[in-house]
Amino acid sequence: MPRRSSSTADSLPRRAASMAVGCLVFAASACSAPADRVDLALAGDASVASVPAACVPDAHGRAWTEARATAAGPYAVETVDLSLVDVTRATPPHHRFTGSDVRELPTRVWYPRVPSLLRARTGSFPVVMYSHGFSSTREENPELAKHLASHGFVVVAPTFPASNMLAPGGPNAADVPRQPGDVSFVLDRVLELGRTRGHALHGLLDASRIAAVGLSLGGLTTLLVTYHATLRDPRIDVAVAMAPVAGLFTSRFYETTRAPILVLHGDGDAILPYDPHATTFRSQALAPAQLLTLARGTHTGFTTQAKLVTLIAPKNVDNVGCAVVGSALDSDPTDFSATVTALGGAALGVVDPPAADFCPAGLPEGMDPVRQLSIEDAAVLAFLVAHFDGDATTRDRACDFVSRVLPEDPDVDSFRR
């Protein structure tokens, strides 16, 4: 794909590319088979601080292996689809779309299968709020969702009303300041359903253990709902972001909470380049924070659909991701300086990100998506277990894996603060 010019005429799509991205995702959900048990849910009613302490590796030795971190958990996985509508907030007009007085948020929930009569004994499960990327949907990462649910997490993934791939008027990345409110609204609704007798989610959700996870523009949403001074949801205890738009945040942005955060970013990301996004996160994020760098890791490789995309672009799946996202951005030349202003500007630690090349020509060979997704599954699960499990030894062994063992792999480098 030709290198994009740095001319004024092209500056808006290029800046848009540094703010938002996602891939066409059509993967369907399925159930996971049982495997070695992680006793997360058996201690579901354990007292957990509102903001978990940073995990400390090497506390008990016998760290997890990657085989354990990637194996399916003990629970079969079920899904339920919810038609949620926030009638108190509007969806703005965009191109041919004249706008709406409401925000429609169709949501899929992956949850551990536990018979109703046994739920009082197993306890409730931590909740993971998953935010998809630009021009994507709630089905962006079903394999990760199933993996987490099989290990005792309830994964909740809405499709955002304006930035999704089928949004009326086309996907609108400038709607991102409204997406933290969408996450909070959906969280309110699913927690309510967890208290509703007879509903599939009744008794399953632990309101004291909540994580935010997201990819790309969804990674930006995750950062906003966790840390932004006015948009954050204080119920978020832990955050994980894959290839997030992080190049626009200074250290001031991260001062609102000490919620632990893990960021995964490929140093071969052609869509949201490692520099400035991962490098800015590394220099500005406050403790407790960890950055896992994937050698030759791509942007598209963090999505389940990358396994199919590799059939089209075996050398580097970002070749397809660039085509999809570039097309969406070229038809939506939004001035994202206005978005930075809407997020509060420098006073709240939000600044214009440095310029970066979007999808330069001649992409080098990228990481095998199967390998990249395996690292993603292992790292995200271990990080969440390290902060949410009711057993201290299990927490520390998971922490040791994500902090020390996984970075020993030649494909992974780690920075911790």
| Omega within 30 of 0 (cis) for the link into 288 | yes
Is residue 2 helix, strand or coil?
A: coil
170 contacts 154 by C-beta, under 8 angstroms? no
The parent domain of residue 193 ranges over 8-416
Rounded CA gap, 362 and 141, in Å? 27
Return the structure tokens found at 303: 């999505």
Beta bridge partners of 265: 293
pLDDT tens per residue across all 417 residues of the chain: 222 323 323 333 333 343 333 433 333 333 333 333 233 433 343 333 457 877 877 656 678 999 999 999 999 999 999 999 999 999 999 988 999 999 999 999 999 999 877 877 778 999 999 999 999 999 999 999 999 999 999 999 999 999 999 999 899 999 999 999 999 999 999 999 999 999 999 999 999 999 999 999 999 999 999 999 999 999 999 999 999 999 999 999 999 999 999 999 999 999 999 999 999 999 999 999 999 999 999 999 999 999 999 999 999 999 999 998 888 877 665 567 888 999 999 999 999 988 888 999 999 999 999 999 999 999 999 999 999 999 988 999 999 999 999 999 999 999 999
CATH number at residue 28: 3.40.50.1820
Amino acid at 267: D
DSSP 249: B
In a domain, 1, yes or no: no
Return the structure tokens found at 295: 């050698």
Number of domains the chain contains: 1
Q: Which residues of 138-168 are buried (b: 16+ CB within 10 A; e: fewer)?
A: bbbbbbbbbbbbbbbbbbbbbbbbbbbbebb
Rounded CA gap, 270 and 18, in Å? 10
In this prediction, residue 175 carries a pLDDT of 95
Return the structure tokens found at 408: 């020993």
In a domain, 3, yes or no: no
In a domain, 2, yes or no: no
pTM for this predicted structure: 0.88
In this prediction, residue 333 carries a pLDDT of 59
In this prediction, residue 63 carries a pLDDT of 85
CA-closest candidate to residue 125, choices 186, 213, 191, 212: 191
Rounded CA gap, 56 and 51, in Å? 15
